[in-house]
Homo-oligomer: A and B are copies of this chain.
Amino acid sequence: MTVKKSEGKREQILRAAEKVFAEKGFQDATIADIVGRAKVSEATLYEYYSSKEDLLFRIPGDLTSEQKKEIEFVFDHIRGAANKMRAFIYHNLWFWQTHPDYASVALVILKQNRKFINTESYRIIYDTYQMMLPVIEEGIESGEFKAGTNPKLVLSMILSIIEYITVNKILHGTPENLLEYVDPITDQILGGIRA
């Protein structure tokens, strides 16, 4: 597997873009800002990325599949739907908390970009989230969760509250530790569905 050009420089540009997009938003971030932070020339940036939007869409990169693998790993090693749900919530909050720039880009910028929905990255993220659905279904089958539970709605509620508190932290700059929410959220969700 050969790679052209310097992968170091490619990564350097991507990390600079992530930072700048996170700080200023997509439109207010300029190519000049990004190359300034990446210490390369504007022309060089265009050697690696075909456009500003291309750069944006490549930010999720390998993180998405890594996250998918991690969730898969966790689900493989934990028993019980409720436990898996708690782990899922934990993992997501931990992930956003430890990747604040990426969180800004993913949850604020990419979230509302209609073109992003057609990218591979989006599909992987989507698939990752969908992995919760069979977990909930199995919980229902096993009797751990109430019959009548709507798995999609429960997943939506989990994802929405995770996003909500993450974005709130980003936008308002509060210093709170998101992991403190793991148990309250999990318990509240479970409270509504536990058999």
For A, the interface residue count at a CB cutoff of 8 angstroms equals: 32
Question: Which residue of A159, A161, A172 has the most chain B CB atoms within 10 A of its CB atom?
Answer: A161
| Contact code string A166-195 (vs B, CB < 8 Å = 1, else 0) | 010001100000000100110111111100
Alpha-carbon distance between A159 and B27 when the two chains are bound, in angstroms: 28
| Contact code string A102-129 (vs B, CB < 8 Å = 1, else 0) | 0000001000101001000000000000
Asked if B112 and A150 make an inter-chain contact with CB atoms under 8 angstroms apart, the answer reads no
Alpha-carbon distance between A26 and B153 when the two chains are bound, in angstroms: 31
Q: Kindly report which residue of chain B lies nearest to residue A114, judged by CB atoms.
A: B171
Interface set, chain A 71-130, CB cutoff 8 A to B: 108, 112, 114, 117
Shortest C-beta distance, A81 to chain B (Å), equals 16
Shortest C-beta distance, A173 to chain B (Å), equals 9
Alpha-carbon distance between A181 and B153 when the two chains are bound, in angstroms: 9
Q: Does A163 contact B (CB under 8 A)?
A: yes
Interface set, chain A 10-61, CB cutoff 8 A to B: 25, 27-28
| Total copies of this chain within the assembly | 4
Q: Kindly report which residue of chain B lies nearest to residue A146, judged by CB atoms.
A: B191
Q: Does A160 contact B (CB under 8 A)?
A: yes
Asked if A164 and B171 make an inter-chain contact with CB atoms under 8 angstroms apart, the answer reads no
Alpha-carbon distance between A25 and B161 when the two chains are bound, in angstroms: 24
Shortest C-beta distance, A190 to chain B (Å), equals 7
Asked if B108 and A112 make an inter-chain contact with CB atoms under 8 angstroms apart, the answer reads yes
Q: Does A154 contact B (CB under 8 A)?
A: yes
Asked if A157 and B161 make an inter-chain contact with CB atoms under 8 angstroms apart, the answer reads yes
Asked if A157 and B188 make an inter-chain contact with CB atoms under 8 angstroms apart, the answer reads yes
Q: Kindly report which residue of chain B lies nearest to residue A187, judged by CB atoms.
A: B192
Q: Kindly report which residue of chain B lies nearest to residue A154, judged by CB atoms.
A: B188
- Chain B residues with Cβ below 8 Å from A164 are 156-157, 159-160, 163-164
Q: Does A147 contact B (CB under 8 A)?
A: no
